[in-house]
Chains A and B, each alone.
Chain A
């Protein structure tokens, strides 16, 4: 059974802390994505990666950075957490290069910054 796993389901951090959200997929997918989901705003893309050590900014990259040192792992980093980064964070991966593909999502991490 294919899986995208995220390191935590729930996380509470304080303002100013450095936060790491980890995502691991076991499907050998090239493409990986980080989204945040907020009520009334839907899913918004933060960063994505097409390959190891490769990253591209999405729609709302400010305040975030990412790391992809290995194909299966894509990390989202909040350098200095702020209360407006309280959100649901979703990681996803996609197989590249085929006409039919599905985007697999992790279960999400609900982050609260106090």
Chain B
């Protein structure tokens, strides 16, 4: 079965600094999703990547997909306290409607 490994597991950054979270798949990626979860709440969809080399941005968050490496990275520029939370990646095991597989999450804290 497919597994997603996220790194780092947790991250503490100073406000204003840039950071990157990685998500590596054990199998071919057909679709990669990024979510954010505020502590104790549900997940909020951030963006989806489908094609190798694809890059998407939402405000100060940019995600890229490297199909060959079976990896996606999430980059936050000039972090703010509002960026704090748990970031999870999810992937389609195969193309279609099978349930998503999730990484274990990266806990981000932003300190002033």
> What is A's interface to B at a CB cutoff of 8 Å?
4, 6, 31, 33, 35, 40-43, 45, 48, 50, 58, 88, 90, 92, 94, 96-97, 99-100, 102-108, 110
Contacts and interface: CB of A to CB of B under 8 A. Distances in A.
Contact of B41 (A35, A40, A108): A108
Contacts, number: 49
B44 interface: yes
B25 to A, nearest CB: 14
Given A31-B97, A41-B104, A48-B99, A102 B41 contact: no
Contact of A43 (B48, B50, B97, B102): B102
Given A94-B97, A100-B48, A102-B48, A42 B102 contact: yes
Contacts of B40: 88, 108, 110
